């Protein structure tokens, strides 16, 4: 089971859109996928047509109750796609966990109870660098940083990278950081220039896929459907399908390498 967090403390940069559509596209490939919404705004939950007001247990319970059975919070959406919903209660999570021991590893402990029942867990983090986001970083194998290709998007990642450096040093040394260009306007000089700078900054950790700016993604969110259902074959769908294939190649190629190393070490 591989855990992928999608993060950026700046709102409006395609973070939730990426988490939802990556999870849905992974599920479409036949891989059992769990999407966890850690945002108090619960936008990922709404995007997938789940009524937040009717939710009785949510990701909030994963972070606050060590004895909570994570399976009680799982909502089946399709044969291969499951959801743990967000909740307004998450807005107070920093205060609730302020004096709790090992508060940054609550999500990790909850996910361990799944016993690798899923191929992928995708986590949509809130647009801040608080306790919910930190829990996602500690629990994840990979973090995808969504970067809107404008000047403000470039500035936003500087603080995030500083936090990630601390996580790598102190809490999760195996976390792999991947950069993803989002909401990119092709043939606009400033956007192309920012894209070049982002690629230079992330180097080999920059994903090849580029999520282009298109109204279709906003329309899919308004229709409360993932892009693979709302506009199959569209440019937006092609972008997220390409991202999904790239993530699978990265994750599963590494998995094969790990298995080979394990077998070799046993000899």
> What per-residue confidence (pLDDT) applies to 264?
38
Q: Which residues 6+ apart lie within 8 Å of 58 measured at CB?
A: 37, 73, 84, 85, 86, 87, 89, 90
For residue 52, give both structure tokens.
């937040």
Identify the pLDDT of residue 186. 77
Please state the pTM of the whole predicted model: 0.92
pLDDT digits (tens, 9 = 90+) for 232-253: 999 999 999 999 999 999 999 8
Helix, strand, coil percentages (3-state) for the chain, rounded to 5, are: 55, 20, 30
Q: Is 230 exposed, middle or buried (0-12, 13-18, 19+ CB in 10 A)?
A: buried
Q: What is the pLDDT of residue 254?
A: 67
Which structure tokens are listed for 266?
Answer: 């046993």
Domains of the chain: total:
1
Tens-place pLDDT, residues 73-96: 999 999 899 999 999 999 999 999
Segments forming the whole domain that contains residue 154: 2-266
Report the CATH number that the domain containing residue 35 is assigned in CATH. Answer: 3.40.50.300
pLDDT of residue 105: 94
- Please count the CA atoms within 13 angstroms of the CA of 41 that sit on its side-chain side: 12
Which residues of the chain register pLDDT less than 50?
257, 259-264, 266-267
Residue of 34, 49, 26 whose CA lies nearest to 220: 49
Whether 197 and 154 have beta carbons less than 8 Å apart is answered as: yes
Specify the pLDDT at position 261. Answer: 44
Burial 241-253, CB ≥16 within 10 A → b, else e: bbbbeebbebbee
pLDDT at 176: 96
């Amino acid at each position: 089971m591989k855990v992928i967090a999608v993060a950026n403390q700046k709102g409006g940069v395609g973070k939730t859109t990426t988490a939802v559509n990556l999870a849905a596209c992974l599920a479409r490939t036949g891989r059992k996928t769990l999407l966890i919404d850690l945002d108090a705004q619960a936008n990922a939950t709404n995007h997938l047509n789940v009524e937040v007001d009717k939710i009785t247990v949510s990701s909030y319970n994963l972070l606050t109750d060590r004895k909570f059975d994570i399976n009680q919070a799982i909502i089946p959406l399709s044969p291969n796609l499951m959801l743990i919903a967000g909740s307004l209660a998450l807005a107070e999570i920093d205060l609730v966990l302020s004096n709790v021991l090992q508060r940054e590893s609550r999500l990790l402990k909850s996910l361990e109870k799944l016993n690798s029942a899923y191929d992928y867990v995708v986590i949509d983090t809130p647009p801040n660098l608080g306790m919910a986001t930190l829990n996602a970083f500690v629990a994840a194998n990979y973090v995808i940083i969504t970067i809107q290709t404008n000047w403000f998007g470039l500035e936003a990642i500087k603080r995030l990278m500083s936090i990630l450096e601390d996580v790598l040093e102190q809490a999760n040394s195996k976390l792999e950081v991947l950069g993803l260009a989002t909401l990119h306007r092709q043939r606009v000089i400033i956007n192309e220039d920012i894209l070049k700078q982002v690629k230079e900054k992330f180097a080999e950790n920059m994903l090849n896929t580029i999520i282009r700016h298109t109204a279709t993604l906003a329309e899919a969110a308004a229709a409360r459907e993932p892009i693979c259902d709302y506009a199959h074959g569209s440019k937006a769908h092609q972008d997220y399908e390409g991202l999904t294939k790239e993530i699978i190649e990265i994750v599963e190629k590494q998995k094969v390498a790990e298995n080979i190393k394990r077998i070799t070490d046993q000899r």
